[in-house]
Amino acid sequence: MSTAGIVVIGNEVLSGQVEEANARYLVRELRALGVQLMRVVVIRDDVDTIAKDVRELSDAYTHVFTSGGVGSTHDDLTLTAIARAFDAPIEPHPVLMGMIERHFGDRANDAVRRMGHLPRGADLLGLDELRFPLVRVRNVYVFPGVPEYLRAKFEWLKPKLADTPFTLKAVYLNVGEDRIAEGLASIDAQYADVAFGSYPRFDTDEYRTKITLESRDPDLVEAALTHLLGELEADWVVRVD
């Protein structure tokens, strides 16, 4: 089973100046791919903090995705921090530096050229297919913070990450959680490989509780669903999706 962690980097996110969209997008996409997301971290532009969190997630999970901090301004510290995380020097990458020089032309100053410095051993992915390549350092994929750029690169990467997808079923009830809590706990204990969720809702008359069942094994989900429905009063069930 592939696992993942996400590191969102930027003072502007934590201060509320920018509405975070990248982690929300990645959460949905990783779930659809069958990659189990384990942790999301949102941190400030601080080299030591970024390095610590990136290394911890890299050691713990199959994939790590960072978002933000890869531009040309003083607070773009992600690549420097990733180099520190893996005790690697950061140095000009000849291929990336050449791409930057060609793209910026006369505007390629020292600040812009900093974007061509990568941790030693970094890979450039999608060189022949992406406008600018995706940087990978070990199992850490370094994405820009601009949502449209991140999404374009992730769309390219998606086929290479796919795992066994999750199967999800949802049961909507017209009764509150108190009516089903004990029975749901009992069924949950019998299906260790199915994740059950229970979510009350108070702002609609359509339903009062939503129960979800999720697993990589579709047959197990169907068995658990059949068991669950057998334990519920028929007139409690609004619909099953």
Residue pLDDT, tens place only, 190-218: 999 999 999 999 999 999 999 999 999 99
Q: What is the pLDDT of residue 18?
A: 92
> Domains (ranges, CATH) in the chain?
3-160 (3.40.980.10), 167-240 (3.30.70.2860)
The secondary structure of the chain, three-state, reads CCEEEEEEECHHHHCCCCCCCHHHHHHHHHHHHCCEEEEEEEECCCHHHHHHHHHHHHHHCCEEEEECCCCCCCCCCHHHHHHHHCCCCEEECHHHHHHHHHHHHHHCCHHHHHHHEEECCCEEECCCCCCCCEEEECCEEEECCCHHHHHHHHHHHHHHCCCCCCEEEEEEECCCHHHCHHHHHHHHHHCCCCEEEEEECCCCCCCCEEEEEEECCHHHHHHHHHHHHHHCCHHHEEEEC
Q: What is the pLDDT of residue 72?
A: 83
Q: Is the predicted pLDDT of residue 159 greater than 90, yes or no?
A: yes
Q: Is the predicted pLDDT of residue 236 greater than 90, yes or no?
A: yes
Provide the pLDDT confidence category of residue 235 given band limits of 50, 70 and 90.
very high
Mean pLDDT for 91-116 is 89
Q: Is the predicted pLDDT of residue 133 greater than 90, yes or no?
A: yes
Q: Is the predicted pLDDT of residue 110 greater than 90, yes or no?
A: no
Q: What is the pLDDT of residue 74?
A: 78
Mean pLDDT for 133-149 is 97
